[in-house]
Amino acid sequence: MLKNTTSDHDQFKHIVAIHVQEALRPDEWRRLRALAIDRRRYADKSAEANPTADASELLNEAISEDSIAVAEVLAAWPSGRADVVGAIAGQPVYYLNGRGVYLWGLEPNEARTLMFWISHPAYPPGW
C-alpha cells in the first residue's frame, strides 16, 4: 500500500478549493455547512464545529486520510452522482454530488484515500 504524500495532499487541497470557488453553488455550500452544527451527526463527538468557516479555513482543518478505498466509496453511491473535478498522479479527484464529499486515492482499490467533507465535523448526508 502506498502512502499519500504531502504533495498529494497539497494538490488535493488546491483542486477542492478551485471546485468550491468556481463550480459549487453557494446555496449548496450553505446547506452542507448547516449540517456541521448537528452534533448527533458528528464522527467525533468531542469535535467543535465552525459553521461560518470559509473553504480555505475548512480545508486547513478537515482533509483526512481514510482507510477506505475510492472504489468502495463510489460503489456505495448511485451511478452518475460522482463528478471528476481534477486529477492527481493520473487518478481522478471525485466530488459526490449532494453529499459534499471529495475523494482521491493513488491506488483506487487500496484503502488509502484523501477525503474532505463540507459538512465537517458532521457526517455527510446519507453517510
Assigned domain for 125 exists: no
* 1 found inside a domain: no
pTM of the model: 0.91
The sheet with strand 113-117 has its strands ordered as 64-66, 113-117, 101-104, 91-96, 82-88
For the chain, how many structural domains are there in total? 1
Is pLDDT above 50 for 2? no
What's the one-letter identity of residue 22?
E
Query: Which helix (H) or strand (E) segment is 120 a member of?
Result: none
Average model confidence (pLDDT) for the chain? 91
Q: Is residue 86 part of a domain?
A: yes
Q: Is the pLDDT of residue 64 over 90?
A: yes
Evaluate whether residue 50 is within a structural domain. yes
Q: Which residue has the higher pLDDT, 43 or 61?
A: 61
Domain that holds residue 42: 6-117
